[in-house]
Amino acid sequence: MSRADLERLSAIARAAGEGIMRLYERDFRVDYKGPGDPVTDADREANALICSRLAAEFPGAAIVAEESASEFYANYRDHERVFFVDPLDGTREYVAKNGQFVVMIGLLEGNAATLGVVYAPASGTLWYGARGLGAFRREADGSERPIRVTDVSEPEQSRLTVSRSRRSERLRQTLQRIAPSQVVPMGSAGLKGALVAEGSVDGYLAVGTAGKHWDACASDALVSAAGGLVSDLQGQPIDYRAPELELSRGLLAANPVLHEALRQRVQGPGH
Protein backbone atom coordinates (compact mmCIF):
# COMPACT_ATOMS: atom_id res chain seq x y z
CA MET A 1 0.00 0.00 0.00
CA SER A 2 1.25 3.47 -0.92
CA ARG A 3 0.78 6.92 0.59
CA ALA A 4 -1.84 7.49 -2.12
CA ASP A 5 -3.76 4.45 -0.86
CA LEU A 6 -3.62 5.88 2.66
CA GLU A 7 -5.12 9.12 1.36
CA ARG A 8 -7.92 7.20 -0.36
CA LEU A 9 -8.75 5.36 2.86
CA SER A 10 -8.61 8.61 4.81
CA ALA A 11 -11.10 10.18 2.38
CA ILE A 12 -13.45 7.22 2.85
CA ALA A 13 -13.24 7.55 6.65
CA ARG A 14 -13.93 11.29 6.47
CA ALA A 15 -16.94 10.77 4.18
CA ALA A 16 -18.36 8.26 6.67
CA GLY A 17 -17.67 10.73 9.47
CA GLU A 18 -19.64 13.47 7.75
CA GLY A 19 -22.72 11.25 7.66
CA ILE A 20 -22.20 10.25 11.27
CA MET A 21 -22.13 13.90 12.36
CA ARG A 22 -25.25 14.81 10.37
CA LEU A 23 -27.18 12.25 12.41
CA TYR A 24 -25.36 13.22 15.63
CA GLU A 25 -27.03 16.64 15.58
CA ARG A 26 -30.51 15.09 15.47
CA ASP A 27 -32.61 12.87 17.70
CA PHE A 28 -31.62 9.42 16.45
CA ARG A 29 -33.04 6.00 17.28
CA VAL A 30 -30.99 3.62 19.39
CA ASP A 31 -31.47 -0.15 19.01
CA TYR A 32 -29.64 -2.89 20.90
CA LYS A 33 -27.89 -5.94 19.42
CA GLY A 34 -27.54 -7.28 22.97
CA PRO A 35 -27.35 -6.01 26.56
CA GLY A 36 -25.20 -2.89 26.64
CA ASP A 37 -24.50 -3.16 22.89
CA PRO A 38 -26.24 -0.25 21.14
CA VAL A 39 -26.45 0.34 17.40
CA THR A 40 -27.78 3.40 15.57
CA ASP A 41 -28.60 4.45 12.02
CA ALA A 42 -25.21 6.17 11.98
CA ASP A 43 -23.48 2.79 12.48
CA ARG A 44 -25.46 1.24 9.63
CA GLU A 45 -25.14 4.11 7.18
CA ALA A 46 -21.40 4.51 7.76
CA ASN A 47 -20.97 0.75 7.36
CA ALA A 48 -22.75 0.77 4.00
CA LEU A 49 -20.78 3.77 2.72
CA ILE A 50 -17.38 2.41 3.74
CA CYS A 51 -18.03 -1.08 2.35
CA SER A 52 -19.30 0.31 -0.95
CA ARG A 53 -16.30 2.61 -1.38
CA LEU A 54 -13.75 -0.05 -0.38
CA ALA A 55 -15.27 -2.57 -2.80
CA ALA A 56 -15.07 -0.04 -5.64
CA GLU A 57 -11.59 1.30 -4.91
CA PHE A 58 -9.86 -1.88 -3.70
CA PRO A 59 -11.37 -4.73 -5.72
CA GLY A 60 -10.31 -8.20 -4.69
CA ALA A 61 -9.87 -7.42 -1.00
CA ALA A 62 -12.22 -8.96 1.56
CA ILE A 63 -14.17 -6.58 3.81
CA VAL A 64 -15.07 -7.60 7.37
CA ALA A 65 -17.27 -4.87 8.84
CA GLU A 66 -19.08 -4.82 12.17
CA GLU A 67 -22.55 -4.04 10.84
CA SER A 68 -22.35 -6.34 7.80
CA ALA A 69 -24.09 -9.72 7.87
CA SER A 70 -21.52 -12.47 8.46
CA GLU A 71 -22.32 -14.18 5.15
CA PHE A 72 -20.83 -11.17 3.34
CA TYR A 73 -17.37 -12.00 4.68
CA ALA A 74 -17.66 -15.75 5.39
CA ASN A 75 -14.61 -16.61 3.25
CA TYR A 76 -12.41 -13.67 4.18
CA ARG A 77 -9.58 -15.92 5.43
CA ASP A 78 -9.05 -17.05 1.84
CA HIS A 79 -8.00 -13.52 0.83
CA GLU A 80 -4.47 -12.13 1.12
CA ARG A 81 -5.80 -8.63 1.83
CA VAL A 82 -8.61 -8.07 4.33
CA PHE A 83 -10.10 -4.77 5.49
CA PHE A 84 -11.45 -4.75 9.04
CA VAL A 85 -13.98 -1.96 9.51
CA ASP A 86 -15.60 -0.50 12.60
CA PRO A 87 -17.82 2.19 11.08
CA LEU A 88 -18.58 3.80 14.45
CA ASP A 89 -16.26 2.67 17.22
CA GLY A 90 -17.63 3.95 20.52
CA THR A 91 -21.36 3.79 19.88
CA ARG A 92 -22.01 4.13 23.63
CA GLU A 93 -20.08 7.40 23.55
CA TYR A 94 -21.97 8.49 20.43
CA VAL A 95 -25.28 7.89 22.19
CA ALA A 96 -23.97 9.77 25.25
CA LYS A 97 -22.82 12.58 22.89
CA ASN A 98 -19.43 12.97 24.55
CA GLY A 99 -17.40 13.02 21.32
CA GLN A 100 -15.32 9.90 22.09
CA PHE A 101 -16.04 7.91 18.94
CA VAL A 102 -14.13 7.20 15.73
CA VAL A 103 -14.28 5.58 12.31
CA MET A 104 -11.76 2.74 11.99
CA ILE A 105 -10.42 1.09 8.84
CA GLY A 106 -7.53 -1.38 9.14
CA LEU A 107 -5.86 -3.51 6.49
CA LEU A 108 -4.53 -7.02 7.06
CA GLU A 109 -1.96 -8.28 4.54
CA GLY A 110 -0.93 -11.86 5.11
CA ASN A 111 -0.90 -12.13 8.90
CA ALA A 112 0.05 -8.53 9.75
CA ALA A 113 -2.00 -5.38 10.25
CA THR A 114 -0.19 -3.08 7.84
CA LEU A 115 -2.31 0.04 7.50
CA GLY A 116 -4.65 1.89 9.81
CA VAL A 117 -6.92 4.92 9.63
CA VAL A 118 -8.68 6.30 12.73
CA TYR A 119 -10.91 9.35 12.23
CA ALA A 120 -12.66 11.30 15.00
CA PRO A 121 -15.64 13.06 13.35
CA ALA A 122 -16.46 15.25 16.37
CA SER A 123 -13.07 17.00 16.23
CA GLY A 124 -12.09 16.35 12.60
CA THR A 125 -8.83 14.73 13.75
CA LEU A 126 -7.35 11.97 11.61
CA TRP A 127 -4.66 9.52 12.66
CA TYR A 128 -3.23 7.29 9.97
CA GLY A 129 -0.18 5.18 9.35
CA ALA A 130 1.34 2.19 7.62
CA ARG A 131 4.28 -0.06 8.33
CA GLY A 132 7.25 1.38 6.47
CA LEU A 133 5.58 4.76 5.90
CA GLY A 134 5.28 6.04 9.48
CA ALA A 135 2.31 7.46 11.38
CA PHE A 136 0.73 10.92 11.27
CA ARG A 137 -1.91 13.11 12.90
CA ARG A 138 -3.86 15.52 10.71
CA GLU A 139 -6.03 18.26 12.18
CA ALA A 140 -9.35 19.50 10.83
CA ASP A 141 -7.58 22.48 9.20
CA GLY A 142 -5.31 20.13 7.23
CA SER A 143 -2.14 20.74 9.27
CA GLU A 144 -0.20 17.56 9.91
CA ARG A 145 2.66 16.18 11.97
CA PRO A 146 4.39 12.80 12.30
CA ILE A 147 3.64 10.93 15.51
CA ARG A 148 5.51 8.35 17.56
CA VAL A 149 4.99 6.34 20.73
CA THR A 150 6.74 7.51 23.91
CA ASP A 151 9.97 6.01 25.24
CA VAL A 152 8.76 5.55 28.84
CA SER A 153 10.07 2.18 29.99
CA GLU A 154 8.94 1.78 33.63
CA PRO A 155 5.35 0.75 34.45
CA GLU A 156 5.32 3.03 37.50
CA GLN A 157 6.06 6.02 35.28
CA SER A 158 3.52 5.13 32.63
CA ARG A 159 0.19 6.71 31.77
CA LEU A 160 -2.25 3.98 30.71
CA THR A 161 -5.57 4.36 28.96
CA VAL A 162 -8.35 1.86 29.69
CA SER A 163 -12.02 1.46 28.88
CA ARG A 164 -14.33 4.12 30.26
CA SER A 165 -17.34 1.79 30.37
CA ARG A 166 -15.87 -1.68 31.01
CA ARG A 167 -14.30 -1.32 34.48
CA SER A 168 -14.10 -4.85 35.88
CA GLU A 169 -12.65 -6.16 39.14
CA ARG A 170 -10.01 -7.95 37.06
CA LEU A 171 -8.97 -4.64 35.51
CA ARG A 172 -8.78 -3.01 38.96
CA GLN A 173 -6.52 -5.80 40.25
CA THR A 174 -4.32 -5.67 37.14
CA LEU A 175 -3.87 -1.91 37.47
CA GLN A 176 -3.00 -2.43 41.12
CA ARG A 177 -0.14 -4.77 40.08
CA ILE A 178 1.10 -2.35 37.43
CA ALA A 179 0.80 0.78 39.63
CA PRO A 180 0.94 3.28 36.73
CA SER A 181 1.43 6.98 37.40
CA GLN A 182 -1.91 7.79 35.75
CA VAL A 183 -4.96 5.94 34.45
CA VAL A 184 -6.90 7.63 31.63
CA PRO A 185 -10.42 6.21 31.10
CA MET A 186 -11.45 6.67 27.47
CA GLY A 187 -14.26 5.56 25.20
CA SER A 188 -13.52 3.91 21.82
CA ALA A 189 -10.79 1.33 21.31
CA GLY A 190 -9.57 3.21 18.24
CA LEU A 191 -9.22 6.46 20.15
CA LYS A 192 -7.19 4.70 22.84
CA GLY A 193 -4.89 3.25 20.19
CA ALA A 194 -4.47 6.69 18.61
CA LEU A 195 -3.49 8.20 21.97
CA VAL A 196 -0.72 5.59 22.29
CA ALA A 197 0.47 6.17 18.73
CA GLU A 198 0.75 9.94 19.21
CA GLY A 199 2.38 9.68 22.64
CA SER A 200 -0.45 11.29 24.65
CA VAL A 201 -0.40 8.15 26.80
CA ASP A 202 2.23 5.45 27.13
CA GLY A 203 0.07 2.34 26.88
CA TYR A 204 -3.39 0.91 26.28
CA LEU A 205 -4.62 -2.04 28.33
CA ALA A 206 -7.74 -4.16 27.93
CA VAL A 207 -8.26 -7.27 30.07
CA GLY A 208 -10.75 -10.03 29.32
CA THR A 209 -12.47 -9.70 25.95
CA ALA A 210 -11.20 -6.65 24.04
CA GLY A 211 -13.89 -6.52 21.36
CA LYS A 212 -13.41 -8.09 17.95
CA HIS A 213 -10.87 -7.89 15.17
CA TRP A 214 -12.38 -4.71 13.76
CA ASP A 215 -11.72 -3.10 17.18
CA ALA A 216 -7.98 -3.79 16.87
CA CYS A 217 -6.72 -3.93 13.29
CA ALA A 218 -6.55 -0.19 12.54
CA SER A 219 -5.00 0.58 15.95
CA ASP A 220 -2.54 -2.30 15.57
CA ALA A 221 -1.27 -0.93 12.26
CA LEU A 222 -1.23 2.66 13.52
CA VAL A 223 0.66 1.91 16.74
CA SER A 224 3.10 -0.33 14.86
CA ALA A 225 3.73 2.43 12.29
CA ALA A 226 4.42 4.80 15.21
CA GLY A 227 7.10 2.47 16.62
CA GLY A 228 4.95 0.56 19.10
CA LEU A 229 3.82 -3.00 19.64
CA VAL A 230 0.32 -4.49 19.94
CA SER A 231 -0.41 -7.99 21.24
CA ASP A 232 -2.76 -9.99 23.43
CA LEU A 233 -2.02 -10.12 27.15
CA GLN A 234 0.19 -13.18 26.68
CA GLY A 235 2.44 -11.24 24.33
CA GLN A 236 1.25 -13.01 21.17
CA PRO A 237 0.43 -11.05 18.00
CA ILE A 238 -3.28 -10.73 17.29
CA ASP A 239 -4.26 -13.66 15.05
CA TYR A 240 -6.62 -12.00 12.58
CA ARG A 241 -7.15 -15.30 10.77
CA ALA A 242 -8.26 -17.19 13.88
CA PRO A 243 -11.56 -19.12 13.68
CA GLU A 244 -13.24 -16.57 15.96
CA LEU A 245 -13.37 -12.80 15.50
CA GLU A 246 -13.42 -12.19 19.25
CA LEU A 247 -10.33 -10.82 21.02
CA SER A 248 -10.74 -13.11 24.00
CA ARG A 249 -7.20 -12.72 25.42
CA GLY A 250 -7.19 -8.97 25.97
CA LEU A 251 -5.04 -6.37 24.32
CA LEU A 252 -1.85 -4.48 25.18
CA ALA A 253 -0.27 -1.61 23.22
CA ALA A 254 2.89 0.35 24.10
CA ASN A 255 6.46 0.93 22.99
CA PRO A 256 8.35 -2.41 22.86
CA VAL A 257 10.29 -1.97 26.13
CA LEU A 258 7.30 -0.82 28.18
CA HIS A 259 5.14 -3.45 26.47
CA GLU A 260 7.31 -6.27 27.83
CA ALA A 261 7.43 -4.75 31.32
CA LEU A 262 3.65 -4.32 31.37
CA ARG A 263 3.09 -7.84 30.07
CA GLN A 264 5.11 -9.25 32.95
CA ARG A 265 3.11 -7.22 35.46
CA VAL A 266 -0.17 -8.28 33.86
CA GLN A 267 0.78 -11.96 34.02
CA GLY A 268 1.71 -11.63 37.68
CA PRO A 269 4.23 -13.66 39.73
CA GLY A 270 5.24 -17.05 38.37
CA HIS A 271 4.77 -16.20 34.68
pLDDT computed for residue 2 by the predictor: 79
- The model's pTM: 0.94
Burial (CB < 10 A; 0-12, 13-18, 19+), residue 236, is exposed
Q: Which of 89, 117, 147 is the last residue of a domain?
A: 147
130, 164: one domain: no
pLDDT in tens, 105-162: 999 999 999 999 999 999 999 999 999 999 999 999 999 999 999 999 999 999 999 9
- Residue 117 lies in domain: 3-147
Q: Which of 123, 147, 171 is the last residue of a domain?
A: 147
Alpha helix locations (H) across the chain? Answer: 3-24, 41-57, 91-96, 169-178, 189-198, 217-225, 256-267
Are 130 and 1 contacting, i.e. CB atoms less than 8 angstroms apart?
Answer: yes
16, 141: one domain: yes
pLDDT in tens, 228-258: 999 999 999 999 999 999 999 999 999 999 9
192, 104: one domain: no
pLDDT computed for residue 27 by the predictor: 77
Tally of domains within the chain: 2
pLDDT computed for residue 271 by the predictor: 46
